[in-house]
Amino acid sequence: MILAGTPQSCAAVAAHYDELDPFYREVWGEHVHHGYWATGRETPERAVEALVDLVADRLDLAPGHSVCDIGCGYGATAQILAERHKVHVTGVTVASTQAAAAGLRTPTAGTLAIHRVDWLANGLPAMSYDRAYAIESSEHMADKGRFFAEAHRVLRPGGRLVVCAWLSRPGPRPWEVRWLLEPICREARLPGMGEQQEYLRFAEGVGFTTVAAEDLSDRVSRTWSICARRVVGKLATDPRYLRYLLDRRATDRAFALSLARLLVAYRTGSMRYGLMVFDRPR
């Protein structure tokens, strides 16, 4: 497990997303997660929805399922799943800006309820969900074992969990940790970045069985070159971006440096992107 050089609390994660809210929406979009290029010809917008479709496929959704979105962001993914699959989604986020935006969504099919709460102390009823998923949110949680334990607790027997996560390559070299992985953790407010096998051990340690573990790195890494181009364009046309980067009071402006680090981390193989599927046995 790669650990951030400074502790990253739940409050710091929430503040990160609240402070960067307008920039995330403009540069990354309403889903705030990677895109998935199955053919390489997808537009960025279609690639983002392709990842949602892939997660939905792995969840094996059926109409009427009760689904928990762990780290729902602005609720865009949850709304798509509710409408396309006629499921009832409960979204959880720690960021006030995200909870407010997600709470305004009204799916045309299924239902969507949003809670602003720390997943590690979520208070949701035990065995109340058929499916759960976490798209790029487990990285923000300091206790990965507790993350999986809570997912296991809220799922019914026979339930399924799908996790998409930023991961480290197995046994990263010291320079990769020093110049890429640890700074990415620190700048992106990730308490720690694990390897895929560590995630599988955490999940199996609380009672899940592993169904699949996929490496999607080559299909999602284009996300960061697109984001980098968008930031450069914004710096050239929108003075807010430069003012923010020059503002010493801005506690999360260092995340801009992570854009370059993420590009290098994917190209060197230092960082990976995993999709993992787990079942709670009956």
Q: Which two tokens stand for residue 80?
A: 């798509």
* Residue 144 in tokens: 């990965």
The pTM of this model reads 0.94
Q: How far is CA 163 from CA 147, 215, 220, 234, in A?
A: 11, 12, 15, 32
Between the CA of residue 272 and those of 119, 173, 218, what are the distances in Å?
A: 24, 14, 9
Mean confidence (pLDDT) of the chain: 93
Strands 209-215 and 192-193: unpaired
For the cut 90, the answer to whether the pLDDT of residue 87 exceeds it is: yes
Per-residue pLDDT tens digits for 36-65: 999 999 999 999 999 999 999 999 999 999
Q: What is the pLDDT of residues 199-228, one digit of tens each?
A: 999 999 999 999 999 999 999 999 989 988
Task: Categorise residue 166: left if φ over 0, alpha if ψ from -120 to 50, beta otherwise.
Answer: beta
